[in-house]
Amino acid sequence: MRIGLWICCVMVLGILTQCDRQTEDRFIRTYRDILIIRELYPDTAVANPKVREILRQNGFTREEFRRVYIEMAKDPERFRRLIDSLRRYAHQYVRSMQDTAR
């Protein structure tokens, strides 16, 4: 009986961890794409509809995205490194697009 309960708890924990990881991966992909759009289109009137579309394509509402953002920011050092990395990636991506267009 105890072994069965233990196995069940481990399975549930594994599923929750996987869901959290999937949400985190989706957040990272979404935030990266939003940063790229913000670099490409400084005019918010142009960028905002594109950002809303990115959120929709990645299965986020604005509220859910904000909730995940706040949750991830609870580990400030890890979050800072992640955001810094995404910003560098977006900047380099846009720069390479501009170089290719020349």
Query: Do residues 53 and 33 lie in contact, with contact meaning Cβ atoms separated by under 8 Å?
Result: no
Q: What is the model's pTM?
A: 0.78
Nearest Cα residue to 35 out of 74, 98, 93, 80: 93
pLDDT tens sequence across 61-95: 999 999 999 999 999 999 999 999 999 999 999 99
